[in-house]
């Protein structure tokens, strides 16, 4: 019997990792304005001053994380050359479905050495977690930049964003400095913070706009040159990836997914070159995968609200008002053994976020003096994709 991998002796790819989400390019293309804004926001660190707090906004796949990593690596390298600059310590925490205690605990453990016991998952208060973090920061000394990715998913961002900017003024740290870099897809996140937090932060905002087709073409050309063997990918296929992504999300991640998936399809079919036809075939696969990833990025209650609307959609009961959606949401939350949110306002906030991200569409109705005005919601994505994503997430949870 022939071995299943014995005849696999050819590939179109030279370095497939270049097309992955985790790949960090040596040079950032088409983000000169954002790099300049980042440089201005971080420059105080070079002179030993307190770092600014920075909020970075933009859709998924538009370079927020890549530019952040690039700038922080450049900052660390530059501070090593300057006597007036403190040592810089960058620590990254993804806030998806996290708590303040979990975030602080993770930062403590990222600063502790391998010979030190990890901070416990439970049993201590958040105040003790903060105290432990501050003690460790002062023991190490220098400037700490805490990157809080998906910060809008943190369960109580107010507490964390009030603590860190005031840590030095309140005497919690004396031998160190701290700055927060928050990354979010939600442009309205700042509005959700309490007034005292907004006043304390005094953050600098950097907004990443979607890429256009020419910008995506420039990025893809550079990646494809490294990713594929000579002559294994047509210029037309690259151009099509850029055009499709620009028309949809404006994200480089989607364009790269199309190109990588198109390459996989060309290989599986035994073709010698990635063509437009492969990219067109890849389009539906990438679309479903992207919906799944976007759903995964939402808080658990945001996901449950979305599934509730999908259920109503399948029962042909949409467009639906928020009260109707809440009733289904409570059933869905109970089914998965989650404690449901109790206020209608919380449900409406999630509906607003889902509408802003393109999962839902919203229409305003007015019933006159008796009924007043209200919004109704319906699904803007495929219901089956929602159900598939939710099943996968719940399987991983068990």
65 belongs to an annotated ligand binding site: yes
Q: Distance between CA 18 and CA 317 in Å, rounded?
A: 45
Tally DSSP H helices, then E strands, for the chain. Answer: 15, 8
37 belongs to an annotated ligand binding site: no
Q: Distance between CA 235 and CA 253 in Å, rounded?
A: 19
Q: Distance between CA 195 and CA 379 in Å, rounded?
A: 33
Pairing of strands 204-208, 176-184: unpaired
Concatenated DSSP letters for 191-244?
Answer: GGS-HHHHHHH-PEEEEEPPP-HHHHHHHHHHHHHHHB-TTSB-HHHHHHHHHH
223 belongs to an annotated ligand binding site: yes
Q: Distance between CA 255 and CA 253 in Å, rounded?
A: 5
Bridge partner residues of 143 (DSSP): 88, 177
63 belongs to an annotated ligand binding site: yes
187 belongs to an annotated ligand binding site: no
* Six token digits for residue 57: 């906004």
211 belongs to an annotated ligand binding site: yes
Q: Distance between CA 222 and CA 59 in Å, rounded?
A: 22
Q: Name residues whose C-beta falls within 8 Å of residue 13's C-beta, 6 or more positions apart in sequence.
A: 227, 228, 229, 232, 263, 267
Bridge partner residues of 228 (DSSP): 13
Task: Give the residue numbers of the binding site.
Answer: 62-66, 211, 223
Task: Give the residue numbers of the binding site for ATP.
Answer: 62-66, 211, 223
């Amino acid at each position: 019997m022939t071995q299943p991998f014995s005849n696999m002796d050819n590939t179109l790819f030279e370095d497939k990792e270049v097309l992955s989400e985790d790949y960090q390019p040596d040079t950032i293309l088409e983000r000169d304005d954002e790099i300049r804004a980042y440089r201005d926001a971080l420059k105080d660190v070079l002179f030993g001053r307190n770092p600014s707090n920075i909020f970075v906004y933009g859709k998924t796949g538009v370079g927020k994380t890549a530019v952040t990593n690039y700038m922080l690596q450049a900052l660390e390298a530059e501070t090593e050359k300057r006597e007036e600059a403190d040592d810089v310590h960058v620590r990254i925490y993804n806030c998806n479905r996290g708590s303040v205690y979990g975030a602080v605990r993770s930062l403590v453990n990222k600063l502790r050495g391998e010979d030190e016991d990890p901070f416990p998952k439970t049993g201590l208060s958040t105040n003790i977690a903060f105290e432990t973090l501050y003690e460790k920061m002062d023991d190490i000394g220098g400037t700490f930049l805490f990157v809080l990715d998906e910060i809008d998913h943190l369960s109580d961002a107010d507490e964390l964003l009030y603590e860190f900017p005031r840590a030095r003024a309140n005497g919690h740290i004396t031998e160190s400095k701290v700055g927060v870099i928050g990354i979010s897809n939600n442009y309205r996140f700042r509005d959700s913070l309490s007034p005292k937090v907004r006043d304390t932060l005094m953050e600098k905002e950097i907004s990443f706009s979607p890429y256009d087709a020419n910008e995506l073409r420039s990025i893809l050309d550079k990646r494809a040159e490294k990713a594929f063997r000579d002559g294994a990918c047509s210029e037309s296929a690259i151009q099509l990836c850029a055009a499709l992504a620009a028309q949809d999300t404006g994200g480089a991640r989607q364009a790269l997914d199309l190109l990588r998936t198109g390459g996989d399809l060309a290989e599986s079919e035994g073709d010698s070159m990635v063509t437009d036809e492969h990219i067109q075939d890849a389009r539906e696969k990438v679309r479903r995968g992207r919906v799944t990833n976007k759903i995964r990025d939402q808080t658990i209650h945001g996901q449950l609200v979305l599934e509730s609307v999908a259920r109503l959609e399948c029962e042909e009961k949409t467009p639906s008002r928020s009260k109707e959606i809440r009733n289904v949401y409570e059933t869905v939350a109970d089914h998965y053994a989650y404690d449901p949110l109790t206020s209608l306002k919380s449900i409406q906030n999630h509906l607003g976020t889902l509408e802003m991200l393109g999962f839902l569409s919203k229409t305003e109705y007015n019933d006159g003096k008796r009924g007043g005005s209200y919004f109704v919601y319906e699904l803007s994505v495929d219901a089956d994709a929602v159900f598939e994503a939710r099943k996968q997430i719940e399987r991983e949870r068990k």
